[in-house]
Chain A
Amino acid sequence: MAITRGFTGRDRRGGDDRLPPGQYDTGAGWPTLTAELTPQVDVDTWTMTVDGLVDTPTTWDWRGVHALPGSTYFGDIHCVTTWTKFDTTFTGVSVDTLLEITGVKPEATHVFATSTTGYTTNLPLADITDGKAWIVWEFDGKPLTPEHGGPVRLLVPHLYFWKSAKWITRLELRDHDEQGFWERNGYHDRGDPWLEQRYQGDA
Chain B
Amino acid sequence: MTDAPGEVLPEPVASSWTTATVREVEHVGATFVKLRMEVADRHDHVPGQHYVIRLRAPDGYTAQRSYSIASDPTDPLVEVMIECLPRGEVSGFLHDVVEVGDELEVRGPIGRWFVWGGTTPSLCVAGGSGVVPFVSMARYARRTGTEPLMRIAASAQTRDRLPYADELEEYGAFIALTRENQPLADGSERVAAHLYPDELVPLADGIERAYVCGSVGFVSFVGRILGEAGVRSDAVRVEQFGPTG
A contact set with B: CB distance below 8 Å: 1-12, 21-22, 24, 26, 28-39, 81-82, 117-119, 145, 147-148, 181, 184-186, 199-202
Contact = CB atoms under 8 A, between A and B. Distances in A.
A187 to B, nearest CB: 9
B238 A37 contact: yes
A10 B236 CA distance: 37
Contacts of B1: 35-36, 117-119, 181
A26 B233 CA distance: 30
A12 B238 contact: no
Interface stretch (B23-31, B101-109, B183-191): B101-109
Name which of A1, A3, A37, A118 has the most chain B CB atoms within 10 A of its CB: A37
Interface residues of B, number: 55
Given A4-B104, A9-B63, 16 more contacts: A3-B58, A4-B55, A5-B97, A5-B102, A5-B103, A7-B93, A22-B62, A31-B243, A32-B240, A35-B237, A117-B233, A185-B9, A185-B112, A185-B113, A200-B13, A201-B13
B118 interface: no
Interface string B72-114: 0000000000000001010011000110001111010011111
Contacts of B234: 36, 117-118
Interface of B: 1-3, 9, 12-13, 15-17, 19, 54-58, 61-66, 87, 89, 92-93, 97-98, 102-105, 107, 110-114, 212, 216, 219-220, 223, 227, 233-234, 236-245
A189 to B, nearest CB: 12
